[in-house]
Every structure is written in C-alpha cells, then in structure tokens.
A and B are shown apart, each in its own frame.
Chain A
Amino acid sequence: MKRDQFFRALPSYAYLIILGLIVVLPLILIFSQSLMSNQEINRWPPKIYTPEPVFSNYVNMFKRPDLKLGRWLFNSIFAATAYTLAVFLICAPAAYAFARLRFPGNNVLFFILLATVMVPGQVTLIPNFLLVRNLHMLDTFNVLIWPGAANVFAVFLLRQFFMQVPRELEEAAVLDGASYWGRFWRIIMPLSTNALVALGIFVFLGHYNDLFWPLITTNSIEMRTLPVGLTLLNFSYGGMERPLVLAGAIFASIPVLIVYIIFQRQIIKGVAMTGMGGR
C-alpha cells in the first residue's frame, strides 16, 4: 500500500524536481560565471564551475566610475521604502473612509476608482512625465515617490482588509470617546498588521523592480535605480564584460532574496491574499 502511494506521487515529484532545477540552474550558473574572468566565460563548452574564482568583478563594481552600484542600491531601497510609506500614508486613510465611513459621493467616487483600474497605467506616462518635467522634478527622489503614490489597488485591498475587522471592536472604542482618526489608527491599523505587511512587501518589491518610470525620469548616473543602471550598463558594454554585468545582476538580487528569506511565509501567503506579486 505504501509503495503504491509512493508511485502515485512519483510523476508529481519528477515534475517538481525538474521544474525546480530549471528554476535554480540559471541562477547558480550566473552566480558561478560572475566569478569568472572574461576569457573563462567565453568558452565552449560553458563551464558551471570555476576552480579559481575571481572576485575582482565584485570589487570592480564599486571602483569603476561608470558603475555606481552602491549608490544605485541605495537609490532603489530608499525610493522603494519611501514609496511604500507614502502609499500607506495616502491610501490607508482613504481605504478606511471607503470601508467604514458614510459620506455623500461615496459610490460615485468608488466607481471612478474602479473605472480607472481598466485603463492601463501607460496612458498616464507621457502626461505625468511632462508634468514632473515642468515641475523640475526630473532626476529627484520625489519623482520616484509621489506620482504613483495614489495606488488604487492598495486602496481596494486595504478597504477589503479593513471591512474584515469586526465592527464591535470599533464600537467599543467609540464608547471610550475615540475620534475617527483614533479608530483608524489605534484599532483598524493594528488589527490589519498581517495584511499591511503582505501589501507592503509587494508594493516595495514592485517599486524596487520597476524599470520604465525610473528609466524615463532619471538621467544622471547618481540618480539611477538598480534595474535601470544595470540595463544601461549592459548596453554600453555591448555584450563585453559579461562577468561584471552578471555580478551586478547577482548584487541587485541579493536584497530581494534577503527579503524573501525573512518574509517567505508572509510573501507566499500574501500572494493569494492580495492577488499581487505577479507580472
């Protein structure tokens, strides 16, 4: 019987292990090739393992004037953190109003929000680009934070989460004389922590990995974010210096993988909970 069950699960295991290898092998390969020299990487057959790893690529990343990986990493993390905070600050109160407060125009406003979800974000790119350009915000952190901070998806999700908090808890606070802000900030927000963490992670990662907006709104090498910097770097080397570029890709992925290792449970659960985290 046991044997029989094992054989039933065998195709599943086989598929998962092959898929797992397909996922992992490229990552291992680019990591080990990022430790190779230029001559070693351009060789047939390609090598997965190098007996004499060179770390010069990782050192050069920080030394070369056209490569500001440290600065780009800071830009990416700082902008993504500030953006995530801005989204919470702006969208959470709005979501609370939609979830709990009664006010005229409630339905109309919510319908407008729903309607805009259908329109792809690219429609707003050109007008917003021209606006921030006229405001002289190009090449600053502001441009990476504010234009996307009114995040409609965040409002929908937060509204959904807030509606799940039992009303009785809020009513108790009302009897204690809590203001609307107090109810929102001391009751609703703390009780939604799990949801907020999940949403926060995806908002952060979405921003950290974004390419188009930082590509068109930053110009100077100091203000590039990691994805943009790496992409342009690859262009400027025209396929040369491959190990260096691969080292940069590994470097850019490390923060994300650290976040993933720490928050893996929340992230995996959060995907189904929020419907975010896709491409």
Chain B
Amino acid sequence: MQNSESSNAGKAVPKRYRLSLKTRETLAAYLFLLPFILLFSVFVIRATFYAIQMSFFDWTILKPIKPFIGLANYKELINDDVWWLALRNTLYFSIITVIGTSAVALAAALAINQPKVKGKEFFRVLLYMPSLLSVGVIGLTWVWLLNTQFGIVNYLLSFLGIRPINWLGNANLVIPALSLTTIWWGFGFPMLIFLAGLQGIPEQLYEAARIDGARTGQIFWRITLPLLRPTLLFITVTGFIAHFQVFGQPFIMTRGGPGRASYTVIFYLYEAAWRAFRMGYGSAIAVALAFIIIFFTLLQFRFIGRRVEY
C-alpha cells in the first residue's frame, strides 16, 4: 500500500518541490476526506436542502410541471387530520415503547448485575438475541403470535380466562400491540447499555451504604438510579427518537390499519410519497418530522440534563 502524495518526500524529490510540513499535512487531510466529503455532500447535505426546497413545490412524480406553491404544503399539513392522527399515534407509540423498553431492560440489567447471579454471560447473550433480527422477521412472527384465532398469545391468555383478543384489528389495542412487539424486539440494547452503566458504579458506594444500614430499595433509589441518570438520559433520548421513526412494524403487521389506527409519521410519509407519488407533500412531512425530532432532542436534554450533575 504505497500512497502517492507524500510517502517518498524528502528522498528523490528536489528541494524546491518540497512542500512545507504544514501544507503537506493539510493536503493529506483533504485527500483522506475527499471520498467522504463527496458522498456526504451529495447524499446528506444536498439531499437535506433539496428536501426543504421540494416542500415548497407541488412536486408530483406523474405531473411534468411542478409549480412553486409556497407554504401550501405546510398549510395542508396543518389541516390534515391524517397527519395529526399519525403524529398522535407515533407519540403514543414512542412514549409507551420507551417506558416499557427501559423498564424491562433496567430490571434485566439489575438482575444480571446482582453479584450472586451466575450465568451472566448466558443471560446477556440470550436476551440480546431478538435485537439482531430484522423487522421483517419480527413482523411476520408477531403477526402470527398475535393472531386472534390461532395465536399463542391469546392461547396463553385463555388460561387466565381471557377471551380471544383481536390485537391488531382493534383500533384501541393496535398501538399497544405494536409497542409490545417492539419492546420484545428491542429491550436487549438498553439492557446492555444499562449493564455497562451499572458496572461503572464503584462497589465502595454500595458497601458504604450497606454499612450505614441502607435497604435494597434505598440503595436503588438513592445510589443506583441517580448514578445511572446519564445512561437513562442516553437511552430515553435515543430510544424515543428511534421509536418516533417507526415504520416496519405498522407497514408489515397492520398496513396502517385497522382503518388508520396505526398510521405513523414515517408510514404516512411512505404513503404520501410512494403510494400517492406526492413527493412535495412527502417532503413537507419529512421536514416537519425533522423539526419535531430536533425539538424533542433539545427539550429532553434540557429537561433531564439539568439533573444529571451529582
């Protein structure tokens, strides 16, 4: 692997051609960056600005003329009941999924971290497994598990005397059902992050607390949880943002149904841009989504960030 620009500098090259060290370093840096910058400017920077630009146009793939319509797409969005429904569904889904995932994951991490528990490695590997599966596999599996007539979930519930539930066909249950699926799929990642966080808490703190006669509950609320706050912040922020972009679960499991009860923001984006071919309107949805996500990122950092110091 001999690279061109500077490997032989100083040997055969006549003195007057030599570049100063600083210039050579700059040159090298830009050559190292060149491929990245090229792709980045085309597929990230240009695309982002183009999306904003498109949101001001009536950009329909089938129509040759794409007139500038100012804020009309955004005005339509504000009056679009489907958009607000999708947004509500997405918010609801993200909130319960973040809470559920964090709770299951934190409990699992605490259990594995328990000094007396053996087989830590085994549980970690086992419980993280679903996270590796694709949303396609998860969707196909859980559509079947949640099946009203023959699903295993209803079968297990029948032992508790619960009559068959139409999980994915009931407008009130479909979001919790998708959330349940997502929690099963995704709790492994926060579990491992929580574990890393727990292992970062010095053992002396626990010992000191025990010597002072603190109970298990007190240790959890007064020591573990406050010290885990940065981890908790990371998990809730990244989790919320990731779940807010949910697409595969409703796309595969319900196709947005029943009716539009499981429309999510990205699902609606897909419908608008790739079903109705309204790329301009789709861009407006994407830009609105970006604003919402940026807003929540900043809000959550302000809200939880204040209490992170200790």
**Contact indicator A249/B25 (Cβ below 8 Å):** no
* CB of B304 within 8 Å of the partner chain: no
Scoring B residues 273 to 287 as 1 if CB is less than 8 Å from chain A, else 0, what string do you get? 110000100110011
**Contact indicator A116/B45 (Cβ below 8 Å):** yes
**Contact indicator B28/A101 (Cβ below 8 Å):** yes
**Contact indicator B3/A272 (Cβ below 8 Å):** no
* CB of B137 within 8 Å of the partner chain: yes
Which residue in chain A gives the minimum CB-CB distance to B282?
Answer: A126
Q: In chain B, residues 20-48, which have Cβ atoms closer than 8 Å to a Cβ of chain A?
A: 22, 24-26, 28-30, 32-33, 35-37, 39-40, 42-48
With A and B bound together, what is the CA distance between A35 and B185 in angstroms? 23
User: Which of A8, A20, A27, A252 contacts B134 (CB under 8 A)?
Assistant: A252
* CB of A83 within 8 Å of the partner chain: no
* CB of B60 within 8 Å of the partner chain: no
Which residue in chain A gives the minimum CB-CB distance to B24?
Answer: A180
**Contact indicator B141/A211 (Cβ below 8 Å):** no
With A and B bound together, what is the CA distance between A277 and B196 in angstroms? 14
Binds B, one of A56-64, A192-200, A222-230: A222-230
* CB of A114 within 8 Å of the partner chain: no
**Contact indicator B111/A12 (Cβ below 8 Å):** yes
What residues of chain B lie closer than 8 Å to A268, measured between beta carbons?
Answer: 121, 124-125, 128, 192
**Contact indicator A93/B33 (Cβ below 8 Å):** yes
Which residue in chain A gives the minimum CB-CB distance to B269?
Answer: A122
Q: With A30-B144, A94-B32, A272-B193 known to touch, is A122 a contact of B266 (CB < 8 Å)? A: yes
Q: In chain B, residues 274-302, which have Cβ atoms closer than 8 Å to a Cβ of chain A?
A: 274, 279, 282-283, 286-287, 289-290, 293-294, 297
Scoring A residues 86 to 120 as 1 if CB is less than 8 Å from chain B, else 0, what string do you get? 00011101101100011110100100110010111
* CB of A55 within 8 Å of the partner chain: no
Main secondary structure of the interface of B (DSSP, over half): helix
* CB of A49 within 8 Å of the partner chain: no
Binds A, one of B76-84, B87-95, B220-228, B247-255: B247-255
Which residue in chain B gives the minimum CB-CB distance to A8?
Answer: B116
Which residue in chain B gives the minimum CB-CB distance to A122?
Answer: B286
With A and B bound together, what is the CA distance between A146 and B269 in angstroms? 23
Q: How large is the interface on A (under 10, 10 to 19, 20 to 34, 35 or more residues)?
A: 35 or more
**Contact indicator B32/A97 (Cβ below 8 Å):** yes
User: Which of A33, A150, A226, A278 contacts B242 (CB under 8 A)?
Assistant: A278
What residues of chain A lie closer than 8 Å to B136, measured between beta carbons?
Answer: 209, 211, 226-228, 230-231, 249, 252
Main secondary structure of the interface of A (DSSP, over half): helix
Q: In chain A, residues 178-234, which have Cβ atoms closer than 8 Å to a Cβ of chain B?
A: 178-182, 184-186, 205, 208-209, 211-212, 216, 226-228, 230-231, 234
**Contact indicator A271/B266 (Cβ below 8 Å):** no
Q: With A30-B144, A123-B48, A230-B140 known to touch, is A13 a contact of B43 (CB < 8 Å)? A: no
* CB of B256 within 8 Å of the partner chain: no
Q: In chain B, residues 67-125, which have Cβ atoms closer than 8 Å to a Cβ of chain A?
A: 104, 107-108, 110-112, 114, 116-117, 121, 123-125
* CB of B176 within 8 Å of the partner chain: no
What residues of chain B lie closer than 8 Å to A231, measured between beta carbons?
Answer: 136, 139-140, 248, 251-252
User: Which of B107, B144, B242 contacts A246 (CB under 8 A)?
Assistant: B144
What residues of chain A lie closer than 8 Å to B129, measured between beta carbons?
Answer: 23, 27, 257, 260
Scoring A residues 3 to 22 as 1 if CB is less than 8 Å from chain B, else 0, what string do you get? 00110110111011001101
What residues of chain B lie closer than 8 Å to A48, measured between beta carbons?
Answer: 152
Which residue in chain A gives the minimum CB-CB distance to B130?
Answer: A23
User: Which of B32, B152, B193 contacts A26 (CB under 8 A)?
Assistant: B152
What residues of chain A lie closer than 8 Å to B142, measured between beta carbons?
Answer: 26
What residues of chain A lie closer than 8 Å to B7, measured between beta carbons?
Answer: 178-179, 181-182
**Contact indicator A150/B245 (Cβ below 8 Å):** no
**Contact indicator B128/A271 (Cβ below 8 Å):** yes
User: Which of B47, B195, B245, B287 contacts A131 (CB under 8 A)?
Assistant: B47
Nearest-Cβ distance from residue B43 to partner chain A, whole angstroms? 5
16 contacts between A and B (CB under 8 A): A20-B126, A24-B126, A26-B141, A26-B142, A26-B152, A30-B144, A90-B36, A91-B36, A119-B294, A125-B269, A127-B46, A184-B32, A226-B136, A230-B137, A235-B255, A279-B131
Interface residues of A (CB under 8 A from B): 5-6, 8-9, 11-13, 15-16, 19-20, 22-27, 29-30, 33, 41-46, 48, 89-91, 93-94, 96-97, 101-104, 106, 109, 112-113, 116, 118-131, 146-150, 152, 155, 177-182, 184-186, 205, 208-209, 211-212, 216, 226-228, 230-231, 234-235, 242, 245-246, 248-249, 252-253, 256-257, 259-260, 264, 267-268, 271-272, 275, 277-279
Given contact pairs A45-B155, A279-B243, a sample of 8 additional A-B residue pairs in the complex whose CB atoms are under 8 Å apart: A13-B111, A26-B184, A101-B32, A124-B43, A211-B135, A246-B141, A271-B128, A278-B239
Which 7 A-B pairs rank lowest in CB-CB distance, beginning with the nearest? Answer: A181-B3, A227-B136, A278-B189, A179-B7, A209-B134, A124-B47, A94-B36
